[in-house]
Structure 1
Amino acid sequence: MTGSSTAVAHSNIALIKYWGKVDSRLAIPATSSVSLTLDAYRTETTVEWGAEQDSVVLDGAVLSGVPADRVSRFLDLVRDLAGRSDHATVVSRNTVPTAAGLASSASGFAALAAAATSAAGLTLAPRDLSILARKGSGSASRSVFGGLAVWYAGTDDLSSYAEPLVDPGLDLAMVVAVVNAGTKEISSRDAMRLTAETSPYYDAWVSASRSDFSSMLDAIGAGDFTRVGELAESNAMRMHASMLGSTPPVTYWEPDSVRCLRLVRELRSAGAECYATMDAGPNVKILCRRPDLATIRTAVEELGVAGVTTALPGPGVRIDRATA
């Protein structure tokens, strides 16, 4: 039985990070996390069942090897849920640079989860879709939802899921300084594993991040932008510090990354309140409020980085088209 669906999901940037897993097979993280889904970056994915073998096309290029196998393993999960044995054709397009630390896997697997299940005739509750997306990419669990989202680490498959958070009027925005949109040298998965296995600072990171998570929920609930920003910045820097303790050290920073971090401090001192966060890549995301967006964008552009994108809170995953 054939079926086709197209889904759109947006990437998210973690304000409280997850870095490291207690169960790699199920993608259950060591810590809970909080994120902001962005309107600027998205993935559109079409899945059509009824093929003789799985095939994946990303941005016009046919995938093979490990990336294609990763998608096929995820489709196996959908096949099990739907009780079907046929294969699927997957065609996906990103406005997110792939594997550059800009959460392309988050939007990618959230869109894949929604499109593949819809095309297979399944209707999953948001929590169940989040659980499924998590097994493709941990952060994809959060891209199921728009705006602010929380991903509870949980202890097993059913208790590790994301859900939306109520925004009390923080008026959040983000400037993304693209330092390098190329593919990073070490994947997030490999870097996480190396950090957890070899860094003497990893346990301290986990302990601190758990405290940061609780504090972030309180800060969001109180509508305290300053505290939200402070927590996001310190949490990101601690994560990168734990990576530097790995053997060999993991560092994603480039000279322009450091220049952007310095600029954030200068802008803050000048009265444009903003805070930096970084994921597994050299690109710097600057959290601010909407009225300061233009000022901060102009300042980043003057640095001469590779690119600058502005973003507001984005929507959750949606089905654009579906045919039986």
Structure 2
Amino acid sequence: MSVTAVAHPNIALIKYWGKADERLSLPATGSLSLTLDIAPTRTTVTLDPSADQHVASWSGEPMTGSELERVSAFLDLVAERAGSRTRAVVETANEIPTGAGLASSAAGFAALAAAASAAYGLALSPRDLSRLARRGSGSAARSVFGGLVQWHAGDDEGSFAEPIDAPGLDLALVVAVLAPGRKAIGSREAMRRTVATSPFFGAWVASVPGELDAMRAAIARADLTAVGELTEANAMRMHATMLGAVPPVRYWNADTVAALDVVAQCRRDGVEAYATIDAGPNVKVLCRPEATTAVADRLRAAFADVDLLVSGSGPGVRIVGPAA
């Protein structure tokens, strides 16, 4: 039995940073994101009754070490829920740099959750699929859905994502890939350090619910200015919280700061644009679709040979075939 699924990355406008429960991948706060229409991950799960262990590969390269352990643990969870001991072969590939703070794990585990649950014969509702994807990578809960999505904090039953209606609000993102390589410190370890040592973490957790309420209200009235201001402020607070860790978690580089200056200059010149940064140095710029060309042109002028990705609102995870 083979099943293939495709999922897209998402970029959080109100961030998730820090877990309340690592084993169940429960977030310390809720979050809100935009699923992209670019850089999908395509994953095929094939059940192999003759295998004595799970096998997985990225773009034809075998997974080993902690990556394979993480995927295998997730497959064990799915198999257990299906009452099966059959092992699986996973083949996956994505079109976005892995480990660079561009939400590749969100798309990867959303696609894996959809393909694996179908291959093992589980009939899951979208909400239950979101809960399952969360166990692989927290932000994968959001990539189960398209468009604007809110992921709720809570217990195992109550922590899931759901789509948000956004009538009249058309959003786009320009992603500046300033450093495509793997991060020096992974998100999981960086979160642990922040939670354990940053004196600012408690204030971060306390501030997010109000920001989520304000963001939902701004989305409901299709207020791009308020959405953008909340997005940029939330990202700055998240990174300030990380900088308070011991030792500090610093993902920014000189180009990150320069890109923030470009975005600020866009606004001064009448091009409405707002920056957000995840766990990495790369800067994403939220704007209206008609402003993407102006924003991209300014980033190209500032950085030689920068890789720019332009995205609108994308779809949720979907099964695309019985095999790759």
Report the 3-state secondary structure (helix = DSSP H, G, I; strand = E; otherwise coil) of the residue aligned with 2:322. strand
Aligned residue number for residue 163 of structure 1: 162
Quote the Cα distance in structure 1 between the aligned partners of 2:22 and 2:213.
Answer: 24
| d(CA) in 1 for partners of 2:285, 2:242 | 21
2:66 maps to which residue? 66
Partner of 2:112: 112
2:308 corresponds to which residue? Answer: 308
Distance 2:166 2:91 in 1: 34
Asked whether 1:285 is paired with 2:277, we answer: no
Secondary structure at the aligned position of 2:321 is classed as strand
With normalisation by structure 1, the TM-score equals 0.97
Structure 1 residue 302: deviation in Å?
Answer: 1.2
Secondary structure of residue in 2 paired with 1:302: helix
Q: 1:30 corresponds to which residue?
A: 28
- C-alpha distance in structure 2 between counterparts of 1:140 and 1:204, whole Å: 25
Q: What whole-Å deviation, never above 9, does each CA across 1:210-240 have from its counterpart, x for those lacking one?
A: 2111111111111111000000000000000
More strand by share: 1
Q: Which residue of 2 aligns with 1:42?
A: 40
- Pairing 1:143-222 to 2, within 5 Å after superposition: 143-154=143-154, 156-222=155-221
Distance in structure 2 (CA, Å) of the matches to 1:56 and 1:208: 40
TM-score norm. by structure 2 comes to 0.97
Cα-to-partner distance string for 1:263-317 (whole Å, 9 max, x where unaligned): 0000001011010000000000000001111111111111125311100011000
Residue ranges of structure 2 left out of the alignment (5+ in a row): none
Task: Tell me the CA shift for residue 119 of structure 1.
Answer: 1.1
Where 1:204 maps in the other structure, the secondary structure is helix
Superposition RMSD in Å: 0.9
SS of residue in 1 equivalent to 2:39: strand
Distance 1:96 1:86 in 2: 31
Q: Quote how far apart the aligned CAs of 1:249 are.
A: 0.4
Q: State the SS of the aligned residue for 1:15.
A: strand
Map of 1:236 onto structure 2: 235
SS in 1 for 2:16: coil
- The alignment-based identity, stated in percent, is 55
- Partner of 1:40: helix, strand, or coil? coil
Instruction: Determine the structure 1 residue equivalent to 2:5.
Output: 7
Q: Counterpart in 1 of 2:264? A: 265
The 2-side partners of 1:304 and 1:274 are apart by: 18
1:144 offset after TM fit, Å? 0.2
1:321 is aligned to 321
**CA distance, structure 2, for counterparts of residue 69 and residue 203 of structure 1:** 32
Aligned counterparts of 1:60 and 1:182: Cα–Cα separation in 2: 19
Match status 1:245 vs 2:241: no
SS at match of 1:41: coil
State how far apart, in whole Å, the 1-side matches of 2:316 and 2:168 are.
18
